[in-house]
């Protein structure tokens, strides 16, 4: 499932790193592990790499839309071991089954949006599947989807074939969405988290109003703002030459947790090297390395070709 922006931004000592998940933003898919809405390992491995390069940096995560869902899930999964000292989740979809069902069965415009997203996923994955023998068995099903909704695509493909490791495949798409959602795990977050959603978001209509159960999570619901909109000017909103209101509270939050929050350092599990891959002690099954010819990193400048291997 893809909803508008699949981005997770990481702020470190005033510098920013943007993570584009595999297969997104034109990045190639070079393995049999495809991107899906429940994955957190891409960000986890990127954080290993960043922590290796900047061992004393204070890392703060900012997630947009589906990236926000991934951020909340990462923080919940890591708990006390999170490499991020705090997070900010903007327009998080929270309950993915509710979002996908509404888009697939809602208004005419919502259905058009759902089918456009699903068609984009078919187009994105078909090339990778055609090159990968491990997924050749699902190619006929993928290519037969003429105009699927997001729910249909996730039921036929994502919940069954998006990964070759547990907990895939799922018995049904509802269980996949339940596993991949963030509304049922936020109580496991152990670092300060600010979430901002709008009450007129056309995509996200179901919000976890019980976040008060967690003393570390704050959900702010604004009057108006749409999905990642929050325009400060209702006139000529299409021109793009006006600021977005959400920048102000987001930057205030980043400044507060970046400068005033006391945290233990370093955070996260100890790093180690396994067969040339940067990994974590006790979690050696995942890791990352910079591929040969991928460029050298000096501070925050990437030299040479595209940095890969994350």
pLDDT over threshold 90, residue 231: no
pLDDT digits (tens, 9 = 90+) for 243-261: 789 999 999 999 899 888 8
Which residue from 59, 95, 69 is spatially nearest to 195, judged by alpha carbons? 69
**How far from chain centre, in Å, is Cα 198?**
19
Q: pLDDT tens digit string along 182-229?
A: 999 999 999 999 999 999 999 999 999 888 788 899 999 999 999 999
> Is the pLDDT at 310 greater than 70, yes or no?
no
With both helix axes pointing from N to C terminus, report the angle between 96-105 and 108-131 in degrees, rounded to the nearest 10: 110
Fold for the domain defined by 1-95+181-271:
Rossmann fold (3.40.50)
pTM (2 d.p.)? 0.86
Cis peptide before 32 (omega within 30 of 0): no
pLDDT > 90 in the chain, percent: 40
Burial class (CB in 10 A: 0-12, 13-18, 19+), 283: middle
Q: Identify the CA nearest to 61 among candidates 45, 49, 74.
A: 74
In the chain, what is the straight-line distance between the N-terminal and C-terminal CA atoms, in Å? 21
Could you give phi then psi for residue 220, rounded to 5 degrees? -105, 125
Which spans in 132-198 are helix H? 139-143, 150-153, 159-161, 173-180
Please state, rounded to an integer, the average pLDDT across all residues of the chain: 81
Least confident piece of the model among 81-85, 87-91, 141-145: 141-145
Q: Cis link prior to 263 (omega < 30° from 0)? A: no
Domain boundary assignment for the chain:
1-95+181-271, 96-176
Cα angle 18-182-127, degrees, rounded to a multiple of 5: 55
Sign of the C-alpha dihedral computed for residues 160, 163, 164 and 168 taken in this order: negative
């Amino acid at each position: 499932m893809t909803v508008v922006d699949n981005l997770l931004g990481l702020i470190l000592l005033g510098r920013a790193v943007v993570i584009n998940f595999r297969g997104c933003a034109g990045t190639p898919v070079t393995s049999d592990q495809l991107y899906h809405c429940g994955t957190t390992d891409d960000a986890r491995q990127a954080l290993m790499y960043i922590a290796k390069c900047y061992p004393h940096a204070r890392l703060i995560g900012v997630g947009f839309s589906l990236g926000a869902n991934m951020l909340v899930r990462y923080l919940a999964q890591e708990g006390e071991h999170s490499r991020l000292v705090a997070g900010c989740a903007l327009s998080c979809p929270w309950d993915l089954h509710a979002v996908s069902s509404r888009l697939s069965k809602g208004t005419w415009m919502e259905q058009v949006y759902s089918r456009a997203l699903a068609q984009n996923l078919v187009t994105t994955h078909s090339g990778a599947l055609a090159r990968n023998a491990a997924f050749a068995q699902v190619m006929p099903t993928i290519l037969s989807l003429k105009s699927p909704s997001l729910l249909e695509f996730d039921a036929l493909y994502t919940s069954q074939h998006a990964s070759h490791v547990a907990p895939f495949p799922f018995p049904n798409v509802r269980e996949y969405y339940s596993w991949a959602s963030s509304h049922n795990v936020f109580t496991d977050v152990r670092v300060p988290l600010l979430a901002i959603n709008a009450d007129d978001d056309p995509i996200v209509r179901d919000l976890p109003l019980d976040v008060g159960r967690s003393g570390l999570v704050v959900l702010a619901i604004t009057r108006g703002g749409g999905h990642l909109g929050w325009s400060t000017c209702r006139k000529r909103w299409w021109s793009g030459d006006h600021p977005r209101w959400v920048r102000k509270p987001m930057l205030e939050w980043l400044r507060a947790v970046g400068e005033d929050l006391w945290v233990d350092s370093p955070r996260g599990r100890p790093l180690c090297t396994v067969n040339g891959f940067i990994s974590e002690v006790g979690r050696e099954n995942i890791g990352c390395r910079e591929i040969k010819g991928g460029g050298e990193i000096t501070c925050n400048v990437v030299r040479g070709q595209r940095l890969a291997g994350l």
